[in-house]
Structure 1
């Protein structure tokens, strides 16, 4: 996730002050990724330095507003068009299995069973989240949740395949 680009997108809509950016960001992601206020201001400072954002005259209530520049719009458009790379063979869970094999840790089925239980919990959480989303207002979040569920289902299939292989040994 790119906080930099999220801030550019929020400023693309209209000028905002830092706290408004934080609140709108958290609302946009339905509270799933809390954003530290310090990170907002640090990122804004970098965006100003890079010419992607500029401060707007103070509104008089001690809150400085920020505005996206033409260069910021171009950067946002460039980023939106770039494909997102996935780490196809860099999987944290698989790495854990490799480490277990390195030390002759003979509880692979327990590792797999616990991972399976975790996947089930995660799927239930996402399905519960999905049930509470309004299809009209939260279409983008629904896409994200459904994609997450599909990834978890694929992981579950993989873990079950590994469990079956262990049983056959």
Structure 2
């Protein structure tokens, strides 16, 4: 997730100070990826260092406003115009967990999969309820009243699709694990005769 570009997108609409940026960022994403003010100001410092924003003014309460520069607008447009790359996908903790679980003796991989499936299905139900409430609120508001509602719905859709895909992947993992167990069961067991020469050699030694 690019906090950097998210803040640039907000500043492109006018100067803002740190707490405003935090509140607006969370409003547009439904606080799915909550920020703290420290993260915001750290990112603003880096944006200022790179010439993408500049301090603009202060209000009567001492809040320092930041404004986007022409270079910052160019960076933002490039971000919007460039597809998110899939060449270096982010680390997925669940995929790593299952990859480790199948290689560590004594781990009940089926139990790991089932526990995750229960959790994912509950999350999917929660997201679906949130979407229903968001749609109900959207239907009672005037058309074009608040684009933040649309932004939140898009985020919810992504979360729902992602979680549905995760549940399907877990089902696929169960099938693959069952197939592996069947292949292992079909392998011939080591014969006692093949072990006998080794035992005799050890005895003579």
TM-score range with shorter-chain normalisation? 0.7 to 0.9
CA RMSD of aligned residues (A): 2.1
Measure, in 1, the Cα distance between the counterparts of 2:85 and 2:173.
Answer: 26
Greater mean alpha carbon deviation, residues 152-161 or residues 42-51: 152-161
- Give TM-score, length-normalised by structure 1: 0.88
1:99 and 1:60, CA in 2 relative to 1: closer, same or farther beyond 3 A?
same
1:121 and 1:79, CA in 2 relative to 1: closer, same or farther beyond 3 A?
same
- Give TM-score, length-normalised by structure 2: 0.73
Q: How many aligned positions are there?
A: 169
**Contact 2:8 2:76 (8 Å CA) reproduced:** yes
1:106 and 1:3, CA in 2 relative to 1: closer, same or farther beyond 3 A?
closer
1:24 and 1:90, CA in 2 relative to 1: closer, same or farther beyond 3 A?
closer
Cross-structure match for 2:22: 22
- 1:148 maps to which of 138, 146, 159: 159
Give matches, 1:3-82, under 5 Å: 3-82=3-82
**Contact 2:57 2:65 (8 Å CA) reproduced:** yes
Cross-structure match for 1:111: 112
- CA drift at 1:106: 4.8
Cross-structure match for 2:124: 123
1:108 and 1:7, CA in 2 relative to 1: closer, same or farther beyond 3 A?
same
Deviations 1:92-137 (A, max 9, x none): 3232222122222351211111111111011011101111214464
Cross-structure match for 2:187: none
Matched, 1:160 2:161: no
Cross-structure match for 1:83: 83
**Structure 2 residue ranges without an equivalent (≥5):** 183-205
Measure, in 2, the Cα distance between the counterparts of 1:97 and 1:43.
Answer: 34
**Structure 1 residue ranges without an equivalent (≥5):** none
Give the greater-gyration-radius structure (CA): 2
1:16 and 1:104, CA in 2 relative to 1: closer, same or farther beyond 3 A?
same
**Contact 2:7 2:21 (8 Å CA) reproduced:** yes
User: After TM superposition, where is structure 1 displaced by more than 3 Å over at least 4 residues in a row?
Assistant: 86-91, 134-137, 164-168
